[in-house]
């Protein structure tokens, strides 16, 4: 694993303290044209910059749980509160709009690829060379800020030079043996006694970024929510 060469930016210190410790700044005019059309139509047009905010490692979970986990989407609520406080302190007069979490359809993985954060993995969670899969997208906003655009991380996918592929071998459903088989993965997770109900053994087997691995409670929370969604979709009528 290459060392993480990102330098702390004092502008984002409040976000870093909240565990929202991944930030990428894009000039809207330099984004791909199709992305501009999709994201900045109507009320969201005319903004100068787009900010992609994520969390890396367990600090975000620690801060969010310490603040209280209330409501249907407590992590989104925590994110929105902290981002709003940061904007109020750092950019009190700057026009801005929060796109995600929200009703705007955002291609988070596309933005992550532009930032160099996201490479596809066999277990269908994005990976980066410095921190593996132990990160998540938390907010996207547009604003009339004048921050320096963030150079993309240009490291190749760590999966490209992974010969052992421990993630594939670790899957008890054999859902990664020949590409990703969603039906096999979902069916095994929903089966009584499944050991994948509140975790992904393939993700945990990946050695990349293990220093940033989430704690057991955080892993169980995220996979518990995804299982509930999966179970709801499985029981819904066609």
pLDDT digits (tens, 9 = 90+) for 113-166: 999 999 999 999 999 998 999 999 999 999 999 999 999 988 889 999 899 999
What per-residue confidence (pLDDT) applies to 234? 65
Higher-scoring residue by pLDDT: 203, 232: 203
- Higher pLDDT pick, 237 / 214: 214
Mean pLDDT of all residues belonging to the chain: 90
pTM of the model: 0.91
Q: Write down the pLDDT at residue 43.
A: 58
**Whether pLDDT at 238 is above 70:** no
Mean pLDDT of 166-183: 95
User: By the 8 A CB rule, do 37 and 130 touch?
Assistant: no
Q: Which two tokens stand for residue 131?
A: 């921190």
What pLDDT was estimated at residue 46? 81
Residue 103 pLDDT grade (very low, low, confident, very high; cuts 50, 70, 90):
confident
Instruction: Considering only the C-alpha atoms of the chain, give the largest distance between any 2 of them, rounded to a whole number of Å.
Output: 54
| 8 Å CB contact between 201 and 122 | no
Q: Is it the case that residue 222 has pLDDT exceeding 60?
A: yes
pLDDT at 102: 85
> d(Cα 151, Cα 35) in Å, to the nearest integer?
18
CA 5 vs CA 2, 8, 31: distances in Å: 9, 10, 24
Q: What is the mean pLDDT of residues 28-50?
A: 81
Helix (H/G/I), strand (E/B), else coil: 96: strand
- C-alpha radius of gyration, the chain, whole number: 19
Does 177 have pLDDT greater than 70?
yes
In the structure, what pLDDT confidence band is assigned to residue 42 with cuts at 50, 70 and 90?
low
Asked if residue 6 has pLDDT above 60, the reply is no
Burial class (CB in 10 A: 0-12, 13-18, 19+), 54: buried
Q: Which phi and psi angles does 52 have, rounded to 5°?
A: -105, 125
Q: Are the C-beta atoms of residues 108 and 24 closer than 8 Å to each other?
A: no
How many CB atoms are located within 10 Å of the residue 187 CB?
15
- Model pLDDT, residue 61: 97
Q: How far apart are the first and last CA of the chain?
A: 45
């Amino acid at each position: 694993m290459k060392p993480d060469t990102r330098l702390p930016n004092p502008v984002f210190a409040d976000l870093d303290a909240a565990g929202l410790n991944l930030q990428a700044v894009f000039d809207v005019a330099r984004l791909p044209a199709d992305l501009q059309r999709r994201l900045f139509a109507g009320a969201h047009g005319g903004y100068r910059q787009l900010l992609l905010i994520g969390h890396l490692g367990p600090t975000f979970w620690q801060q969010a749980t310490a603040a209280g986990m209330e409501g249907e989407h407590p992590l989104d609520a925590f994110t929105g509160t902290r981002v709003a406080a940061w904007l109020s302190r750092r950019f009190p007069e700057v026009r801005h709009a929060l796109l995600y979490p929200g009703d705007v359809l955002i291609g988070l993985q596309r933005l992550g690829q532009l930032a160099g954060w996201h490479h596809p993995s066999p277990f269908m969670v994005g990976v980066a060379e410095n921190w593996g899969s132990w990160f998540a997208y938390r907010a996207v906003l547009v604003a009339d800020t004048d921050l320096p655009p963030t150079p993309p991380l240009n490291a190749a996918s760590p999966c490209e030079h992974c010969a052992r592929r421990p993630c594939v071998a670790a899957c008890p459903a054999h859902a990664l043996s020949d590409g990703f088989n969603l039906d096999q993965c979902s069916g095994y997770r929903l089966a009584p006694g499944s050991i994948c109900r509140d975790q992904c053994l393939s993700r945990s087997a990946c050695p990349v970024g293990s220093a940033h691995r989430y704690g057991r409670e955080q892993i169980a929370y995220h996979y518990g929510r995804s299982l509930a969604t999966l179970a709801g979709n499985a029981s819904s009528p066609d």
